[in-house]
Amino acid sequence: MSDVTVTNPLQRLIDELKKLPGVGPRSAERIAFHLLKTDAVDALALAEAVRDIKEKIRPCARCHNLAEGELCHICADHRRDQGQIVVVEQPKDLASLEATGLITGVYHVLMGHIAPLEGIEPGDLTIDTLVKRVKAGDVREVILATNPTLEGDATALHITSLLSDTGVKITRPARGLAPGGQIEYANRSMLEEALRARQEV
Ligand SMILES: [Zn+2]
């Protein structure tokens, strides 16, 4: 890339847009030209929204969900059952489960799954803090709602072995989801069924 290209603001925007998931070179160009001719107010609102999520949203100090303060809105809600922890891979999985309205407990977001081939080891996830939470408090049940994929299953198995000496009930949602399916794409009734029929592991 020449210096001229790098310093060209339009090219810079196109290059940044191309890094977004699902945005190819043509879409990146189309979006960039759209923003170029858009009202300054609207275009800058997008820029500010991007800045805001980086400056104002941070991981919840307890569960690693997205939070605007020290704790996320779920951990900060005293009506939630602290004795039930639902373990998920990503904040978007949490959102899908939360939408069922069936979870009265709290969550723990792992921020991924164990995948040695991709270089993701247990230490890269938030498993340590999960184990500390379970050992520290009055936890009755840990629901391992990782995705029903090879990596999700392996992650659940690893956590089960770490928590086996705690005496806490460990469950896994039933296989209502298609094998290899993802929680974020499951519909509400599938999730409800999988949660209701969860089994002890
Ligand atoms: Zn939280």
Which residue ranges make up each domain of the chain? 3-56, 79-200
- In angstroms, the first-to-last Cα distance of the chain is 54
Q: How far is the CA of 76 from the centre of ligand 1 (A)?
A: 7
Whether 96 has a pLDDT exceeding 80, the answer reads: yes
State the alpha helices, DSSP H only, in the chain: 3-7, 9-18, 25-37, 40-56, 91-100, 127-136, 150-163, 188-196
Q: Which amino acid is at 188?
A: R
Rounded to an integer, what distance in angstroms lies between the CA atom of residue 9 and that of residue 6? 8
Average pLDDT over residues 141-149: 94
Query: What's the CA gap between 125 and 155, in Å, rounded?
Result: 10
Give the mean pLDDT of the chain. 91
Q: Which residue is associated with the tokens 């794409």?
A: 185
Q: What pLDDT does 177 receive?
A: 60
Mean pLDDT (whole number) for 175-183: 67
Query: How many angstroms is it from 139 CA to the middle of ligand 1?
Result: 15
Kindly indicate the confidence band of residue 185, based on its pLDDT and cuts at 50, 70 and 90.
confident
Q: What is the pLDDT of residue 195?
A: 87
Q: How many residues does the chain have?
A: 201
Instruction: Using the predicted structure, report yes or no on whether residue 4 has a pLDDT greater than 70.
Output: no
Compute the average pLDDT of residues 22-49.
95
Expressed in angstroms and rounded, the spacing between residue 104 Cα and the centre of ligand 1 is 14
State in Å: Cα 24 to ligand 1 middle.
Answer: 35
**3-56 and 79-200 share one CATH topology?**
no
Residue 175 — pLDDT band, cuts 50, 70, 90? confident
pLDDT > 90 in the chain, percent: 74
Calculate what percentage of the chain has a pLDDT beyond 70. Answer: 94
In CATH, what number does 3-56 get? 1.10.8.420
pLDDT value of position 72: 97
Number of H helices, E strands in the chain: 8, 7
pLDDT value at 73 more than 90: yes
Of 60-64, 99-103, 107-111, 192-196, which gets the smallest average pLDDT?
Answer: 192-196
Average pLDDT over residues 178-182: 65
- Distance, CA of 31 to CA of 17 (rounded, Å): 8
Global pTM? 0.77
Predicted confidence (pLDDT) at residue 55 exceeds the cutoff of 80: yes
The CA 106 to ligand 1 mean position distance, Å, reads 7
Cα(169) to ligand 1 centroid in Å equals 21
Residue 188 CA to ligand 1 centre (angstroms): 22
CATH architecture entry for 79-200: 3-Layer(aba) Sandwich (3.40)
Q: How confident is the model at residue 184 (pLDDT cuts 50, 70, 90)?
A: confident
Which protein residues have their CB within 5 A of the ion that is ligand 1?
60, 62-63, 65, 72, 75
pLDDT of residue 7: 58
- Please give the distance, rounded to the nearest whole angstrom, from the Cα atom of residue 68 to the centre of ligand 1: 10
**Region of poorest pLDDT, from 32-46, 100-114, 135-149, 177-191:** 177-191
Q: How far is the CA of 108 from the centre of ligand 1 (A)?
A: 7
Q: What pLDDT is recorded for position 16?
A: 95
